[in-house]
Chains A and B, each alone.
Chain A
Amino acid sequence: MTDATARHIPDRLVSPAARLLKSWETLLLAVALAIFVANSLASPYFLNAWNLSDATFNFTEKAMIAFAMALLIISGEIDLSVASIIALASTAMGAAVQAGAGTPVLVGIGLGTGLACGAVNGILVTRMGLPSIVVTIGTMSLFRGISYIALGDKVYKGYPSDFGYFGQGYVWWVFSFELVLFAILAVVYGVLLHKTNFGRAVYAIGNNPTAALFSGIRVQRVKFILFLLTGLMSGIAAICLTSRLGSTRPSIAFGWELEVVTMVVLGGVNILGGSGTIPGVVIAAFVMGLVTFGLGLLNVPGIVMSIFIGCLLIGVIALPRLWTMWRG
């Protein structure tokens, strides 16, 4: 017992390193390594630099969106329209190609469409006070619907050859443009969330939006920026995906919103907001990419893969709880 009058309160009781060791991210990293080892034992083709490089295309585009989505979910909101934003942005770029636009214009259109869609979601949620899950289920249908009306069963093709660099180009050796962009964005979002005042505001809003407002945080402005960022990331993903496929159909990226949310939740972000990290999302992206690729090498059909991903998500989330139940 210490003397209450002369009590010194330490900054921390648990060092950041000790906390890291017990964290979700560490557990997830162990899972990723286990899957890596299992894959390399299961298939002789797995441990090949070019094969592994190909594998990263399974997650880079989704992960770009997942970074912004992680911030949005930590703040207590969600955006389910991201895949439809890809469809609309890709359709807009495809239409521009028919009109003879060059690569710089296409990139501008892709980013602009993403930002505009993000702004629509942001205004509906922050200005009109509507719940984001309802708003973005609505815009999910709306954005893809526009794309279907514009395209029907047609396909936009004929993208300029230099546009192909975003989805097919390599910066150096096996490191594709997408992989490098993914790495840069991981650092940017990691710094934004963990090292800036903006990131702190995101956590505060996610834990208690009322107290955050009473503490002088411009809650609606922060949320609006997060919707803009999510839209922008969807635009970037649309550029990469369209470039990689070389064509646009209205069904492009169908169902991706759930894979993005799965990646974020697998990364340890609380679906109710308030906690989560970017390193967690990065590891989750690798886990999902490795699983998809490994099962692909073993010729497992796509539907089985989605079953596997679903079990993985539930399993990884249930594991810590089961662990404490057994010990308790």
Chain B
Amino acid sequence: MSVRRGAALAPDTFRNPHMRHAADTVPAEVLGLPVLTLEGITKSFPGVKALSEVALELYPGQVTALVGENGAGKSTIVKVLTGIYQPDAGTIRLDGLPVTFPTARAATEAGITAIHQETVLFDELTVAENIFIGHAPRTRWGLIDWPELRRRAVEILDRIDARLDPMMPLKELGIANKHLVAIARALSIDARVVVMDEPTAALSQKEIEELYDLVERLKAEGRAILFISHKFDEIFRIADRFTVFRDGALAGSGLMSDVSESELVRMMVGRSVDHIFPARDKAPGREVLRVEGLSHPTEFDDLSFTLCEGEILGFYGLIGSGRSELMQAIFGITRASSGTVSLDGAALNIRAPADAIAAGIVYVPEDRGKQGAVIGLPIFQNITLPSLDQTSRQGFLKLAREFALARTYVERLELRAASLDQDVGNLSGGNQQKVVIAKWLATKPRVIILDEPTKGIDIGSKAAVHAFMAELAAEGLAVIMVSSEIPEIVGMSDRVIVMREGLMAAKVKGDDLTPEVLVRHAAGIAGASG
């Protein structure tokens, strides 16, 4: 690794863990002292060094983007910042003075707050209670001062233009509004440092714009923001500075104005990643899967399509358009109310996932942690779980065969792990996804359905997944890809089906397959035509 690191870059720019280089080029108006400085932070877990002498500086009124591949140590540094993990070595300075955060509460009291990707709030409590939990205003009897709490909640929500009823239970809000509550909470403790861990991952375009406005407002109030994101367009749009981690070490930092997208990518991966989607020249073969008139009482209605060998069929639509539900009905998780699914011309009676798998249809779910990987079981057991009939003899396990089968696919997918006996829970998101894909490939399927296959994984793993999908299609596998990422849909699919509110809105292919056409159909904008 040390050979790869920064090979293509001027070494002085990215090896220097301190800000000397950056300070040389900082224009006078943004020169200022960092509010929070981390130096030489090291954190190890059994078998892994998650962080190795990393440094990070956050400046008041500025957004610092933290970028890096999955497993680069981004989440670990956030946990160090917020008092959840204690670093093995290194110093944290607040306004230049060394501090420690022995507990999450200590970090909160120091004015550091984090807004997570999947917001950590309390579903059963109201908006106002969520904003003030842990520091609610008290009456002189020590009881919670409800009128005051409500008044202050309204005040804070007004400040961020959030039109929310403070007495509404949180569970009734969508993810975007939950983020607003989390931000309101940050304001309520007058946080000086706000950490945002992939805040836009689950938001629509409109909600993302609103979040950007809010970030601008937090900046104007002089708060320091650490913004973690995989999306380059947003980093370049809102960040003032950047810090890049690679394999738990600092790979570079500086001002956004001094760096180009390709330079950032090189720092992240230590090599340049081709953004171009893999070329696919093979024409699709004969028809494999045919779905006719598939309907569900509430989620989708009357869907028909076909899929051929070697074809990648994209499913595009807004969140809630019924794509995942359709795929789960084909896979036997939910039952369709009418319609047929046939494979090679023979109608299937799929009552459970086991039936779909036996027929050769497999599904890589969107929610890796809950539906994909069995956390608690080792890697090899995750991979062989649906293939035990193949590796066992008369129902008795054969561990040697299991290791051999797992190894075949793990090596093909270039998984990074300490051993095959390691718990999948200790792997990064991208590597967990590889385990889930390996699990399905080991069953030698005819049709593979990938639901948001690159959601929340880093750019390097993303390119690897895309290349791998192209390779599978070239081998004759029929691929269905559900995705909300337009570049991915346009770049990878032979044909695309657009869904809207549970119905098929359009089938698009060839020259019609453009981002504009997809967005129009998905949103139901008048004048959308094939």
Interface residues of A (CB under 8 A from B): 1-5, 7, 9-14, 195-200, 203-204, 206-208, 210-218, 274-275
Name 11 A/B residue pairs within 8 A (Cβ), A-sorted: A9-B411, A11-B403, A11-B421, A195-B396, A196-B395, A196-B397, A203-B377, A212-B374, A214-B363, A214-B372, A274-B376
Q: How far is the CA of A9 from the CA of B420 in the complex (A)?
A: 7
Which 9 residue pairs spanning A and B have beta carbons closest together?
A207-B376, A216-B357, A216-B354, A12-B421, A197-B388, A13-B419, A215-B385, A216-B386, A208-B374
Nearest A residue (CB) for B404: A11
- With contacts A196-B395, A196-B397, A204-B377 known, is A12 near B354, CB below 8 A? no
> 17 other contacts beyond A11-B419, A216-B352, with CB at 8 A cut-off?
A1-B1, A3-B3, A9-B410, A9-B415, A13-B419, A14-B421, A196-B397, A197-B389, A197-B396, A204-B381, A204-B385, A214-B353, A214-B365, A215-B385, A215-B386, A216-B353, A216-B358
Residues of chain A within 8 A (CB-CB) of B412 are none
Q: Is B439 an interface residue (CB 8 A)?
A: yes
Residues of chain A within 8 A (CB-CB) of B381 are 200, 203-204
CB distance from B377 to the nearest CB of A (A): 6
CB distance from A212 to the nearest CB of B (A): 6
Residue among A195, A197, A218 having the largest count of chain B Cβ atoms under 10 Å: A197
The contact of A213 among B333, B395, B403, B418, by CB within 8 Å, is B333
Residue pair B397, A197 in contact (C-beta under 8 Å): yes
CB distance from A236 to the nearest CB of B (A): 23
Residues of chain A within 8 A (CB-CB) of B358 are 216
Q: How far is the CA of A103 from the CA of B372 in the complex (A)?
A: 51
Residues of chain B within 8 A (CB-CB) of A1 are 1-2
Q: How far is the CA of A72 from the CA of B439 in the complex (A)?
A: 26
- With contacts A9-B419, A13-B47 known, is A198 near B377, CB below 8 A? no
Residue pair A207, B375 in contact (C-beta under 8 Å): yes
Residue pair B392, A197 in contact (C-beta under 8 Å): yes
Q: How far is the CA of A215 from the CA of B363 in the complex (A)?
A: 9
Residues of chain B within 8 A (CB-CB) of A206 are 376
Residues of chain A within 8 A (CB-CB) of B294 are none
CB distance from A192 to the nearest CB of B (A): 10
Residues of chain B within 8 A (CB-CB) of A196 are 392, 395-397
Q: Is B370 an interface residue (CB 8 A)?
A: yes
Residue pair A217, B333 in contact (C-beta under 8 Å): no
Q: Is B371 an interface residue (CB 8 A)?
A: yes
Q: How many residues of B contact A (CB 8 A)?
A: 47
Residue pair A197, B416 in contact (C-beta under 8 Å): no
Residue pair A275, B363 in contact (C-beta under 8 Å): no
Residue pair A212, B419 in contact (C-beta under 8 Å): no
Residue pair B371, A214 in contact (C-beta under 8 Å): yes
Nearest A residue (CB) for B372: A211
Nearest B residue (CB) for A211: B374
Residue pair B420, A10 in contact (C-beta under 8 Å): yes
Give the tally of cross-chain contacts (CB within 8 A): 109
Residues of chain B within 8 A (CB-CB) of A198 are 395
Q: How far is the CA of A2 from the CA of B3 in the complex (A)?
A: 10
Q: Is B227 an interface residue (CB 8 A)?
A: no
Q: How far is the CA of A13 from the CA of B411 in the complex (A)?
A: 17
Residue pair B374, A207 in contact (C-beta under 8 Å): yes
Q: How far is the CA of A113 from the CA of B246 in the complex (A)?
A: 63
Residues of chain A within 8 A (CB-CB) of B376 are 203, 206-208, 274-275
Q: Indicate with 1 or 0, residue by residue over B360-380, a CB within 8 angstroms of chain A CB atoms.
A: 000101000011111111001
Q: How far is the CA of A273 from the CA of B422 in the complex (A)?
A: 19
Q: Indicate with 1 or 0, residue by residue over B1-33, a CB within 8 angstroms of chain A CB atoms.
A: 111100000000000000000000000000000
- With contacts A211-B371, A217-B385 known, is A9 near B396, CB below 8 A? no
Residue pair B389, A10 in contact (C-beta under 8 Å): no
Nearest A residue (CB) for B422: A13
CB distance from B492 to the nearest CB of A (A): 23
Q: How far is the CA of A5 from the CA of B416 in the complex (A)?
A: 10
Q: Is B136 an interface residue (CB 8 A)?
A: no
Residues of chain A within 8 A (CB-CB) of B397 are 195-197, 199-200
Q: Is B35 an interface residue (CB 8 A)?
A: no
Residue pair A11, B380 in contact (C-beta under 8 Å): yes
Residues of chain B within 8 A (CB-CB) of A215 are 353, 374, 385-386, 439
Residue pair A211, B416 in contact (C-beta under 8 Å): no
Q: Is B214 an interface residue (CB 8 A)?
A: no
Residue pair B365, A13 in contact (C-beta under 8 Å): no
Residue among B47, B353, B363, B373 having the largest count of chain A Cβ atoms under 10 Å: B353
Residue pair B416, A7 in contact (C-beta under 8 Å): yes
Nearest B residue (CB) for A218: B354
Residue pair B416, A4 in contact (C-beta under 8 Å): yes
Q: How far is the CA of A138 from the CA of B358 in the complex (A)?
A: 38
Residue pair A207, B419 in contact (C-beta under 8 Å): no
CB distance from B467 to the nearest CB of A (A): 15
Q: How far is the CA of A7 from the CA of B416 in the complex (A)?
A: 8
Q: Is B417 an interface residue (CB 8 A)?
A: yes
Residues of chain B within 8 A (CB-CB) of A5 are 414
Residues of chain A within 8 A (CB-CB) of B374 are 204, 207-208, 211-212, 215
Residues of chain A within 8 A (CB-CB) of B363 are 214
CB distance from B202 to the nearest CB of A (A): 19
CB distance from A48 to the nearest CB of B (A): 41
Residue among A4, A7, A215 having the largest count of chain B Cβ atoms under 10 Å: A215
Q: Indicate with 1 or 0, residue by residue over B394-407, a CB within 8 angstroms of chain A CB atoms.
A: 01110000010001
Q: How far is the CA of A196 from the CA of B391 in the complex (A)?
A: 11
CB distance from B59 to the nearest CB of A (A): 33
- With contacts A197-B392, A215-B385 known, is A208 near B380, CB below 8 A? no
CB distance from A217 to the nearest CB of B (A): 7
CB distance from A327 to the nearest CB of B (A): 14
Residue pair A13, B418 in contact (C-beta under 8 Å): yes
Residue among A198, A207, A275 having the largest count of chain B Cβ atoms under 10 Å: A207
Report B237-288 residues with CB < 8 Å from chain A CB: none
CB distance from B251 to the nearest CB of A (A): 15
The contact of B419 among A10, A203, A204, by CB within 8 Å, is A10
Residues of chain B within 8 A (CB-CB) of A200 are 381, 385, 388, 397
Residue among A217, A218, A275 having the largest count of chain B Cβ atoms under 10 Å: A217
CB distance from A204 to the nearest CB of B (A): 5
Report B287-343 residues with CB < 8 Å from chain A CB: 331, 333
Q: How far is the CA of A304 from the CA of B372 in the complex (A)?
A: 49
Q: How far is the CA of A307 from the CA of B494 in the complex (A)?
A: 70
Residues of chain B within 8 A (CB-CB) of A12 are 419-421
Q: How far is the CA of A204 from the CA of B223 in the complex (A)?
A: 46
CB distance from B294 to the nearest CB of A (A): 19
Q: How far is the CA of A273 from the CA of B434 in the complex (A)?
A: 26
CB distance from B369 to the nearest CB of A (A): 9
Residue pair A208, B375 in contact (C-beta under 8 Å): yes
- With contacts A197-B389, A197-B395, A204-B374 known, is A217 near B420, CB below 8 A? no
The contact of B417 among A9, A14, A210, A275, by CB within 8 Å, is A9
Nearest B residue (CB) for A199: B397
Residues of chain A within 8 A (CB-CB) of B372 are 211, 214
Residues of chain B within 8 A (CB-CB) of A10 are 419-420
Q: How far is the CA of A207 from the CA of B418 in the complex (A)?
A: 21
Q: How far is the CA of A275 from the CA of B415 in the complex (A)?
A: 26
Residue pair B370, A210 in contact (C-beta under 8 Å): yes
Q: How far is the CA of A275 from the CA of B420 in the complex (A)?
A: 19
Residues of chain B within 8 A (CB-CB) of A204 are 374, 377, 381, 385
Residues of chain A within 8 A (CB-CB) of B371 are 210-211, 214
Residues of chain B within 8 A (CB-CB) of A208 are 370, 373-376
CB distance from A118 to the nearest CB of B (A): 21
